[in-house]
Chain A
Protein backbone atom coordinates (compact mmCIF):
# COMPACT_ATOMS: atom_id res chain seq x y z
CA UNK A 1 0.00 0.00 0.00
CA UNK A 2 2.81 2.40 0.88
CA UNK A 3 4.49 1.58 -2.43
CA UNK A 4 1.37 2.57 -4.37
CA UNK A 5 1.10 5.80 -2.43
CA UNK A 6 4.73 6.75 -2.89
CA UNK A 7 4.36 6.24 -6.62
CA UNK A 8 1.24 8.36 -6.67
CA UNK A 9 2.49 11.14 -4.46
CA UNK A 10 6.18 11.05 -5.24
CA UNK A 11 6.87 11.74 -1.60
CA UNK A 12 7.70 9.30 1.18
CA UNK A 13 6.72 11.45 4.10
CA UNK A 14 3.43 12.48 2.62
CA UNK A 15 2.65 8.87 1.70
CA UNK A 16 3.28 7.69 5.26
CA UNK A 17 1.12 10.44 6.72
CA UNK A 18 -1.63 9.70 4.23
CA UNK A 19 -1.53 5.99 5.03
CA UNK A 20 -1.88 6.76 8.75
CA UNK A 21 -4.83 9.03 8.00
CA UNK A 22 -6.49 6.30 5.98
CA UNK A 23 -6.09 3.70 8.72
CA UNK A 24 -7.55 6.13 11.24
CA UNK A 25 -10.54 6.74 8.97
CA UNK A 26 -10.99 3.02 8.50
CA UNK A 27 -10.93 2.40 12.23
CA UNK A 28 -13.70 4.92 12.57
CA UNK A 29 -15.86 3.93 9.59
CA UNK A 30 -15.54 0.18 9.13
CA UNK A 31 -17.12 -0.82 12.44
CA UNK A 32 -20.00 1.54 11.61
CA UNK A 33 -20.49 0.98 7.85
CA UNK A 34 -19.00 -2.50 7.49
CA UNK A 35 -15.72 -3.48 5.86
CA UNK A 36 -15.50 -2.59 2.14
CA UNK A 37 -15.28 -5.43 -0.39
CA UNK A 38 -11.76 -4.47 -1.37
CA UNK A 39 -10.20 -3.08 1.82
CA UNK A 40 -6.77 -2.43 0.27
CA UNK A 41 -8.21 -0.44 -2.63
CA UNK A 42 -10.41 1.46 -0.21
CA UNK A 43 -7.44 2.34 1.97
CA UNK A 44 -5.36 3.50 -0.99
CA UNK A 45 -8.17 5.63 -2.41
CA UNK A 46 -8.84 7.13 1.01
CA UNK A 47 -5.17 7.78 1.65
CA UNK A 48 -4.86 9.49 -1.75
CA UNK A 49 -7.79 11.73 -0.98
CA UNK A 50 -6.43 12.62 2.44
CA UNK A 51 -3.10 13.44 0.83
CA UNK A 52 -4.73 15.62 -1.80
CA UNK A 53 -6.64 17.41 0.94
CA UNK A 54 -3.40 17.97 2.78
CA UNK A 55 -1.74 19.31 -0.34
CA UNK A 56 -4.58 21.70 -0.99
CA UNK A 57 -4.38 22.88 2.60
CA UNK A 58 -0.68 23.42 2.37
CA UNK A 59 0.41 25.53 -0.54
CA UNK A 60 4.09 25.23 0.22
CA UNK A 61 3.78 21.49 -0.19
CA UNK A 62 2.00 22.01 -3.47
CA UNK A 63 5.01 23.87 -4.78
CA UNK A 64 7.14 20.78 -4.54
CA UNK A 65 8.00 19.44 -7.91
CA UNK A 66 6.25 16.12 -8.36
CA UNK A 67 3.18 17.12 -6.44
CA UNK A 68 2.23 19.47 -9.24
CA UNK A 69 0.90 16.54 -11.17
CA UNK A 70 -1.63 15.59 -8.50
CA UNK A 71 -4.81 14.69 -10.35
CA UNK A 72 -8.30 15.43 -9.17
CA UNK A 73 -9.88 13.83 -6.18
CA UNK A 74 -10.75 10.17 -6.59
CA UNK A 75 -14.36 9.64 -5.65
CA UNK A 76 -14.89 7.90 -2.36
CA UNK A 77 -17.31 5.43 -3.98
CA UNK A 78 -16.65 2.14 -2.29
CA UNK A 79 -18.80 0.03 -4.59
CA UNK A 80 -17.00 1.30 -7.65
CA UNK A 81 -13.54 -0.02 -6.90
CA UNK A 82 -14.20 -3.67 -6.09
CA UNK A 83 -12.35 -4.87 -9.19
CA UNK A 84 -9.60 -2.28 -9.21
CA UNK A 85 -6.35 -4.18 -9.39
CA UNK A 86 -3.74 -2.68 -7.10
CA UNK A 87 -0.45 -2.54 -8.96
CA UNK A 88 2.31 -4.16 -6.94
CA UNK A 89 4.97 -1.49 -6.71
CA UNK A 90 7.04 -2.96 -3.92
CA UNK A 91 9.85 -3.66 -6.37
CA UNK A 92 10.06 0.00 -7.39
CA UNK A 93 9.99 0.95 -3.72
CA UNK A 94 12.81 -1.49 -2.92
CA UNK A 95 15.04 -0.15 -5.70
CA UNK A 96 14.38 3.40 -4.54
CA UNK A 97 15.20 2.57 -0.93
CA UNK A 98 18.42 0.79 -1.96
CA UNK A 99 19.62 3.44 -4.41
CA UNK A 100 23.42 3.76 -4.25
CA UNK A 101 23.11 7.55 -4.02
CA UNK A 102 21.87 7.01 -0.44
CA UNK A 103 24.19 6.05 2.39
CA UNK A 104 24.16 2.35 3.26
CA UNK A 105 22.73 3.11 6.72
CA UNK A 106 19.92 5.08 5.09
CA UNK A 107 19.26 2.29 2.58
CA UNK A 108 18.90 -0.23 5.39
CA UNK A 109 16.68 2.01 7.51
CA UNK A 110 14.44 3.01 4.59
CA UNK A 111 14.04 -0.61 3.49
CA UNK A 112 13.02 -1.73 6.97
CA UNK A 113 10.65 1.21 7.29
CA UNK A 114 9.03 1.12 3.87
CA UNK A 115 8.99 -2.61 3.07
CA UNK A 116 9.42 -4.25 6.45
CA UNK A 117 6.84 -1.95 7.98
CA UNK A 118 9.01 -1.45 11.07
CA UNK A 119 8.48 1.69 13.10
CA UNK A 120 11.14 4.32 13.63
CA UNK A 121 11.73 3.26 17.24
CA UNK A 122 12.01 -0.42 16.32
CA UNK A 123 14.65 0.31 13.70
CA UNK A 124 16.54 2.58 16.09
CA UNK A 125 16.51 -0.16 18.73
CA UNK A 126 17.69 -2.78 16.24
CA UNK A 127 20.72 -0.69 15.31
CA UNK A 128 21.26 0.55 18.86
CA UNK A 129 21.02 4.23 18.06
CA UNK A 130 18.85 6.96 19.52
CA UNK A 131 15.33 7.18 18.01
CA UNK A 132 15.98 10.86 17.28
CA UNK A 133 19.10 9.98 15.28
CA UNK A 134 17.18 7.38 13.29
CA UNK A 135 14.39 9.87 12.67
CA UNK A 136 16.87 12.40 11.30
CA UNK A 137 18.56 9.74 9.18
CA UNK A 138 15.27 8.66 7.63
CA UNK A 139 14.11 12.20 7.13
CA UNK A 140 17.38 13.21 5.41
CA UNK A 141 17.13 10.18 3.13
CA UNK A 142 13.51 10.88 2.19
CA UNK A 143 14.38 14.45 1.48
CA UNK A 144 17.28 13.41 -0.76
CA UNK A 145 15.05 11.00 -2.68
CA UNK A 146 12.72 13.85 -3.45
CA UNK A 147 15.15 16.69 -4.06
CA UNK A 148 17.79 14.73 -5.97
CA UNK A 149 15.20 12.99 -8.12
CA UNK A 150 16.06 9.42 -7.18
CA UNK A 151 13.70 7.55 -9.49
CA UNK A 152 10.81 5.43 -8.29
CA UNK A 153 11.30 2.69 -10.85
CA UNK A 154 12.86 -0.65 -11.58
CA UNK A 155 16.25 0.15 -13.14
CA UNK A 156 16.77 -0.45 -16.86
CA UNK A 157 18.58 -3.60 -17.93
CA UNK A 158 22.03 -2.03 -18.26
CA UNK A 159 21.92 -0.76 -14.66
CA UNK A 160 20.27 -3.87 -13.24
CA UNK A 161 23.31 -5.98 -12.21
CA UNK A 162 24.79 -3.19 -10.09
CA UNK A 163 21.48 -2.06 -8.63
CA UNK A 164 20.24 -5.55 -7.86
CA UNK A 165 23.54 -6.23 -6.10
CA UNK A 166 22.86 -3.17 -3.92
CA UNK A 167 19.39 -4.46 -3.00
CA UNK A 168 20.74 -7.90 -2.15
CA UNK A 169 23.54 -6.39 -0.08
CA UNK A 170 21.04 -4.37 1.98
CA UNK A 171 18.86 -7.42 2.64
CA UNK A 172 21.89 -9.53 3.58
CA UNK A 173 23.17 -6.79 5.85
CA UNK A 174 19.82 -6.76 7.67
CA UNK A 175 20.04 -10.54 7.94
CA UNK A 176 23.55 -10.41 9.40
CA UNK A 177 22.48 -7.86 11.98
CA UNK A 178 19.88 -10.43 13.01
CA UNK A 179 22.30 -13.35 12.79
CA UNK A 180 24.49 -11.62 15.36
CA UNK A 181 21.72 -12.14 17.89
CA UNK A 182 18.65 -10.09 16.95
CA UNK A 183 16.59 -12.88 15.45
CA UNK A 184 13.68 -10.65 14.52
CA UNK A 185 15.87 -8.83 12.00
CA UNK A 186 16.97 -12.12 10.45
CA UNK A 187 13.33 -13.13 10.03
CA UNK A 188 12.61 -9.70 8.58
CA UNK A 189 15.42 -10.13 6.04
CA UNK A 190 14.14 -13.58 5.05
CA UNK A 191 10.68 -12.18 4.52
CA UNK A 192 12.14 -9.38 2.35
CA UNK A 193 14.08 -12.02 0.42
CA UNK A 194 10.89 -13.99 -0.10
CA UNK A 195 9.06 -10.93 -1.43
CA UNK A 196 11.95 -10.21 -3.79
CA UNK A 197 12.04 -13.81 -5.04
CA UNK A 198 8.35 -13.55 -5.90
CA UNK A 199 8.85 -10.23 -7.66
CA UNK A 200 12.01 -11.26 -9.55
CA UNK A 201 11.52 -15.00 -10.11
CA UNK A 202 14.12 -15.22 -12.90
CA UNK A 203 17.11 -13.81 -11.01
CA UNK A 204 19.28 -16.65 -9.69
CA UNK A 205 21.10 -14.49 -7.14
CA UNK A 206 17.76 -13.50 -5.58
CA UNK A 207 16.95 -17.18 -5.01
CA UNK A 208 20.55 -17.74 -3.93
CA UNK A 209 20.33 -15.09 -1.22
CA UNK A 210 16.98 -16.36 0.06
CA UNK A 211 18.36 -19.92 0.12
CA UNK A 212 21.50 -18.78 1.93
CA UNK A 213 19.57 -16.89 4.60
CA UNK A 214 17.12 -19.78 5.07
CA UNK A 215 19.90 -22.36 5.43
CA UNK A 216 21.84 -20.22 7.92
CA UNK A 217 18.77 -19.24 9.91
CA UNK A 218 17.66 -22.89 10.09
CA UNK A 219 20.69 -23.56 12.28
CA UNK A 220 20.24 -20.46 14.45
CA UNK A 221 18.81 -22.29 17.48
CA UNK A 222 21.80 -24.65 17.57
CA UNK A 223 24.49 -21.99 17.15
CA UNK A 224 24.49 -20.99 20.80
CA UNK A 225 24.18 -23.05 23.96
CA UNK A 226 23.91 -21.11 27.21
CA UNK A 227 25.11 -18.01 25.43
CA UNK A 228 28.24 -19.72 24.02
CA UNK A 229 28.80 -20.24 20.31
CA UNK A 230 28.75 -23.92 19.30
CA UNK A 231 30.95 -25.21 16.47
CA UNK A 232 29.12 -26.74 13.50
CA UNK A 233 30.39 -30.25 14.31
CA UNK A 234 29.15 -30.00 17.92
CA UNK A 235 25.72 -28.58 17.13
CA UNK A 236 22.61 -30.46 18.22
CA UNK A 237 21.06 -31.25 14.84
CA UNK A 238 17.67 -31.84 16.42
CA UNK A 239 17.54 -28.09 16.96
CA UNK A 240 17.85 -27.40 13.24
CA UNK A 241 14.74 -26.24 11.46
CA UNK A 242 14.25 -29.01 8.89
CA UNK A 243 11.45 -27.18 7.10
CA UNK A 244 13.59 -24.10 6.60
CA UNK A 245 16.48 -26.26 5.37
CA UNK A 246 14.16 -27.89 2.82
CA UNK A 247 12.91 -24.45 1.72
CA UNK A 248 16.50 -23.22 1.41
CA UNK A 249 17.52 -26.21 -0.65
CA UNK A 250 14.51 -25.77 -2.94
CA UNK A 251 15.59 -22.16 -3.49
CA UNK A 252 19.13 -23.28 -4.22
CA UNK A 253 17.87 -25.82 -6.80
CA UNK A 254 15.86 -23.04 -8.42
CA UNK A 255 18.92 -20.77 -8.57
CA UNK A 256 21.08 -23.52 -10.05
CA UNK A 257 18.38 -24.34 -12.61
CA UNK A 258 18.55 -20.68 -13.67
CA UNK A 259 22.29 -21.26 -14.19
CA UNK A 260 23.18 -19.12 -11.21
CA UNK A 261 26.78 -19.26 -10.09
CA UNK A 262 27.10 -15.89 -8.35
CA UNK A 263 28.35 -15.19 -4.83
CA UNK A 264 25.02 -15.80 -3.06
CA UNK A 265 24.34 -19.01 -4.95
CA UNK A 266 27.81 -20.32 -4.08
CA UNK A 267 27.38 -19.41 -0.41
CA UNK A 268 23.97 -21.09 -0.37
CA UNK A 269 25.52 -24.23 -1.88
CA UNK A 270 28.14 -24.20 0.88
CA UNK A 271 25.51 -23.69 3.58
CA UNK A 272 23.51 -26.57 2.12
CA UNK A 273 26.51 -28.91 2.17
CA UNK A 274 27.14 -27.93 5.79
CA UNK A 275 23.72 -29.34 6.67
CA UNK A 276 24.73 -32.81 5.41
CA UNK A 277 26.05 -35.59 7.61
CA UNK A 278 28.88 -36.28 6.99
CA UNK A 279 29.88 -32.91 5.56
CA UNK A 280 31.63 -32.99 2.18
CA UNK A 281 34.52 -30.67 3.12
CA UNK A 282 36.58 -31.08 -0.10
CA UNK A 283 33.52 -29.94 -2.09
CA UNK A 284 33.05 -26.99 0.28
CA UNK A 285 36.72 -26.06 -0.12
CA UNK A 286 36.29 -26.10 -3.92
CA UNK A 287 33.21 -23.84 -3.67
CA UNK A 288 35.11 -21.42 -1.42
CA UNK A 289 37.91 -21.35 -4.00
CA UNK A 290 35.34 -20.41 -6.66
CA UNK A 291 33.85 -17.78 -4.35
CA UNK A 292 37.29 -16.34 -3.59
CA UNK A 293 37.92 -15.92 -7.32
CA UNK A 294 34.64 -14.00 -7.65
CA UNK A 295 34.99 -11.80 -4.61
CA UNK A 296 38.75 -11.46 -3.99
CA UNK A 297 37.85 -11.53 -0.32
CA UNK A 298 40.45 -12.60 2.27
CA UNK A 299 37.60 -13.61 4.61
CA UNK A 300 36.47 -16.12 1.99
CA UNK A 301 40.05 -17.40 1.77
CA UNK A 302 40.03 -17.84 5.54
CA UNK A 303 36.88 -19.93 5.26
CA UNK A 304 38.50 -21.94 2.49
CA UNK A 305 41.39 -22.64 4.85
CA UNK A 306 38.95 -24.03 7.42
CA UNK A 307 37.37 -26.30 4.79
CA UNK A 308 40.82 -27.47 3.66
CA UNK A 309 41.71 -28.29 7.28
CA UNK A 310 38.43 -30.14 7.77
CA UNK A 311 39.24 -32.14 4.60
CA UNK A 312 42.28 -33.44 6.48
CA UNK A 313 45.00 -31.00 5.42
CA UNK A 314 45.76 -28.70 8.37
CA UNK A 315 49.26 -27.97 7.09
CA UNK A 316 47.95 -26.71 3.73
CA UNK A 317 45.26 -24.77 5.59
CA UNK A 318 47.88 -23.05 7.77
CA UNK A 319 49.78 -22.03 4.64
CA UNK A 320 46.61 -20.35 3.31
CA UNK A 321 46.02 -18.50 6.61
CA UNK A 322 49.64 -17.36 6.84
CA UNK A 323 49.39 -15.90 3.35
CA UNK A 324 46.41 -13.68 4.24
CA UNK A 325 46.58 -9.96 4.84
CA UNK A 326 43.89 -9.99 7.48
CA UNK A 327 45.77 -9.31 10.68
CA UNK A 328 43.15 -7.26 12.54
CA UNK A 329 40.45 -9.88 12.18
CA UNK A 330 40.01 -12.04 15.32
CA UNK A 331 38.97 -15.11 13.30
CA UNK A 332 42.29 -15.11 11.44
CA UNK A 333 44.04 -15.74 14.75
CA UNK A 334 41.47 -18.12 16.24
CA UNK A 335 41.65 -20.18 13.03
CA UNK A 336 45.45 -20.14 13.12
CA UNK A 337 45.33 -21.17 16.76
CA UNK A 338 43.07 -24.11 15.99
CA UNK A 339 45.30 -25.26 13.12
CA UNK A 340 48.47 -24.93 15.20
CA UNK A 341 46.81 -26.92 17.99
CA UNK A 342 45.98 -29.73 15.57
CA UNK A 343 49.55 -29.69 14.30
CA UNK A 344 50.81 -30.06 17.89
CA UNK A 345 52.44 -26.61 17.94
CA UNK A 346 50.90 -25.77 21.31
CA UNK A 347 52.88 -22.68 22.41
CA UNK A 348 52.24 -20.99 19.04
CA UNK A 349 48.57 -21.98 19.30
CA UNK A 350 48.34 -20.31 22.72
CA UNK A 351 49.88 -17.12 21.34
CA UNK A 352 47.39 -17.09 18.48
CA UNK A 353 44.42 -17.60 20.86
CA UNK A 354 45.67 -14.68 22.97
CA UNK A 355 45.96 -12.54 19.84
CA UNK A 356 42.36 -13.42 18.87
CA UNK A 357 41.18 -12.62 22.41
CA UNK A 358 42.80 -9.20 22.26
CA UNK A 359 40.93 -8.43 19.04
CA UNK A 360 37.44 -9.69 19.90
CA UNK A 361 34.88 -7.45 21.55
CA UNK A 362 32.04 -9.94 21.75
CA UNK A 363 31.87 -11.48 25.19
CA UNK A 364 30.47 -14.94 24.21
CA UNK A 365 33.27 -15.36 21.69
CA UNK A 366 35.85 -14.20 24.22
CA UNK A 367 34.58 -16.83 26.69
CA UNK A 368 34.79 -19.45 23.97
CA UNK A 369 38.39 -18.48 23.16
CA UNK A 370 39.42 -18.53 26.84
CA UNK A 371 37.98 -22.03 27.15
CA UNK A 372 39.90 -23.22 24.08
CA UNK A 373 43.04 -21.67 25.48
CA UNK A 374 42.55 -23.42 28.81
CA UNK A 375 42.13 -26.77 27.03
CA UNK A 376 45.55 -26.58 25.32
Chain B
Protein backbone atom coordinates (compact mmCIF):
# COMPACT_ATOMS: atom_id res chain seq x y z
CA UNK B 1 0.00 0.00 0.00
CA UNK B 2 1.05 3.58 -0.55
CA UNK B 3 1.15 5.85 2.45
CA UNK B 4 1.57 9.61 2.51
CA UNK B 5 3.54 11.01 5.43
CA UNK B 6 2.32 14.57 5.81
CA UNK B 7 4.87 16.49 7.82
CA UNK B 8 3.73 19.36 10.00
CA UNK B 9 6.29 21.65 11.58
CA UNK B 10 5.65 23.56 14.74
CA UNK B 11 7.52 26.80 14.27
CA UNK B 12 6.85 27.95 17.82
CA UNK B 13 8.30 24.99 19.66
CA UNK B 14 11.17 24.06 17.36
CA UNK B 15 14.36 24.48 19.36
CA UNK B 16 17.01 26.68 17.79
CA UNK B 17 19.55 24.41 16.14
CA UNK B 18 23.16 25.23 15.49
CA UNK B 19 24.58 24.52 12.06
CA UNK B 20 25.85 21.03 12.86
CA UNK B 21 22.52 19.99 14.38
CA UNK B 22 20.64 21.42 11.40
CA UNK B 23 22.86 19.40 9.08
CA UNK B 24 22.24 16.22 11.07
CA UNK B 25 18.47 16.72 10.79
CA UNK B 26 18.72 17.39 7.06
CA UNK B 27 20.75 14.20 6.70
CA UNK B 28 17.99 12.27 8.46
CA UNK B 29 15.37 13.60 6.03
CA UNK B 30 17.66 12.74 3.15
CA UNK B 31 18.25 9.21 4.48
CA UNK B 32 14.49 8.61 4.64
CA UNK B 33 14.09 9.65 1.01
CA UNK B 34 16.83 7.15 0.10
CA UNK B 35 14.93 4.24 1.66
CA UNK B 36 14.06 1.67 -1.04
CA UNK B 37 10.39 1.86 -0.01
CA UNK B 38 10.27 5.66 -0.50
CA UNK B 39 8.39 6.46 -3.68
CA UNK B 40 8.69 10.23 -3.61
CA UNK B 41 8.82 13.21 -1.35
CA UNK B 42 9.25 16.92 -1.23
CA UNK B 43 10.07 19.76 1.06
CA UNK B 44 8.03 22.93 0.85
CA UNK B 45 9.39 26.47 0.92
CA UNK B 46 8.39 28.40 4.06
CA UNK B 47 4.74 29.25 4.52
CA UNK B 48 5.45 32.94 3.82
CA UNK B 49 5.89 31.99 0.15
CA UNK B 50 2.37 30.54 -0.11
CA UNK B 51 -0.53 31.91 -2.11
CA UNK B 52 -4.04 30.61 -1.54
CA UNK B 53 -6.53 30.35 -4.38
CA UNK B 54 -10.30 30.05 -4.23
CA UNK B 55 -12.87 30.23 -7.00
CA UNK B 56 -16.23 31.73 -6.10
CA UNK B 57 -18.97 32.24 -8.69
CA UNK B 58 -16.38 31.74 -11.40
CA UNK B 59 -14.14 34.44 -9.90
CA UNK B 60 -10.63 33.58 -8.85
CA UNK B 61 -9.66 34.97 -5.47
CA UNK B 62 -6.04 34.88 -4.47
CA UNK B 63 -4.75 35.71 -1.04
CA UNK B 64 -1.27 36.00 0.30
CA UNK B 65 -0.17 33.24 2.63
CA UNK B 66 -2.16 30.47 4.22
CA UNK B 67 -5.78 31.12 5.07
CA UNK B 68 -5.92 30.06 8.68
CA UNK B 69 -3.65 31.09 11.49
CA UNK B 70 -2.20 27.82 12.75
CA UNK B 71 0.83 26.93 14.81
CA UNK B 72 1.57 23.80 12.81
CA UNK B 73 2.38 24.37 9.19
CA UNK B 74 2.58 21.79 6.46
CA UNK B 75 6.26 21.48 5.64
CA UNK B 76 6.60 18.54 3.26
CA UNK B 77 5.69 14.96 2.57
CA UNK B 78 6.92 11.53 1.63
CA UNK B 79 5.10 8.77 -0.21
CA UNK B 80 6.13 5.27 0.90
CA UNK B 81 5.14 1.89 -0.52
CA UNK B 82 4.78 -0.40 2.52
CA UNK B 83 3.10 -3.61 3.61
CA UNK B 84 0.87 -2.24 6.32
CA UNK B 85 0.16 0.54 8.78
CA UNK B 86 2.66 -0.76 11.34
CA UNK B 87 5.48 -0.34 8.85
CA UNK B 88 4.17 3.14 8.02
CA UNK B 89 4.00 4.18 11.68
CA UNK B 90 7.59 3.07 12.22
CA UNK B 91 8.76 5.24 9.31
CA UNK B 92 6.65 8.16 10.57
CA UNK B 93 8.27 7.96 13.99
CA UNK B 94 11.70 8.37 12.35
CA UNK B 95 10.77 11.69 10.72
CA UNK B 96 12.56 14.39 12.75
CA UNK B 97 9.54 16.75 12.88
CA UNK B 98 7.66 14.15 14.94
CA UNK B 99 10.06 14.52 17.87
CA UNK B 100 10.72 18.25 17.38
CA UNK B 101 7.33 19.59 18.42
CA UNK B 102 5.66 18.91 15.07
CA UNK B 103 3.67 15.92 13.92
CA UNK B 104 3.36 13.49 11.07
CA UNK B 105 -0.02 12.53 9.67
CA UNK B 106 -0.03 9.09 8.08
CA UNK B 107 -2.66 8.70 5.37
CA UNK B 108 -3.12 5.79 2.98
CA UNK B 109 -3.46 6.72 -0.67
CA UNK B 110 -6.52 5.59 -2.58
CA UNK B 111 -5.50 2.59 -4.61
CA UNK B 112 -6.40 2.74 -8.25
CA UNK B 113 -9.02 0.04 -8.69
CA UNK B 114 -7.90 -2.98 -10.65
CA UNK B 115 -10.33 -5.50 -12.04
CA UNK B 116 -10.19 -9.04 -10.83
CA UNK B 117 -10.18 -11.97 -13.23
CA UNK B 118 -13.57 -13.58 -12.89
Contact = CB atoms under 8 A, between A and B. Distances in A.
Contacts of B106: 148
Contacts of A68: 114, 116
Contacts of A63: 113-116
A102 to B, nearest CB: 10
A62 interface: yes
B115 A150 contact: no
A173 B45 CA distance: 46
A246 interface: no
B85 A101 contact: yes
B94 to A, nearest CB: 13
Contacts of A67: 116
A155 B83 CA distance: 13
A62 B86 contact: no
Interface residues of A, number: 19
Interface string A322-361: 0000000000000000000000000000000000000000
B86 A56 contact: no
A345 B83 CA distance: 65
B96 interface: no
A70 interface: yes
A364 interface: no
Contact of A149 (B88, B114, B115, B116): B88
Contacts of B83: 149, 151
Contacts of A148: 85, 106, 108
Contacts of B86: 150-151, 155, 159
B113 to A, nearest CB: 4
Contacts of A159: 86
Nearest to B1: A149
Contacts of B12: none
A150 B1 CA distance: 11
B6 to A, nearest CB: 14
Nearest to A100: B89
A130 interface: no
A65 interface: yes
A68 B113 CA distance: 10
A70 B3 CA distance: 23
A265 B86 CA distance: 28
B84 A150 contact: yes
4 nearest CB pairs, A to B: A151-B84, A63-B113, A62-B116, A149-B84
Interface of A: 55-56, 59, 62-63, 65, 67-68, 70, 99, 101, 147-151, 153, 155, 159
Given A65-B1, A148-B85, 12 more contacts: A62-B115, A63-B114, A101-B85, A101-B89, A149-B3, A149-B82, A149-B84, A149-B88, A150-B85, A150-B86, A151-B83, A153-B84
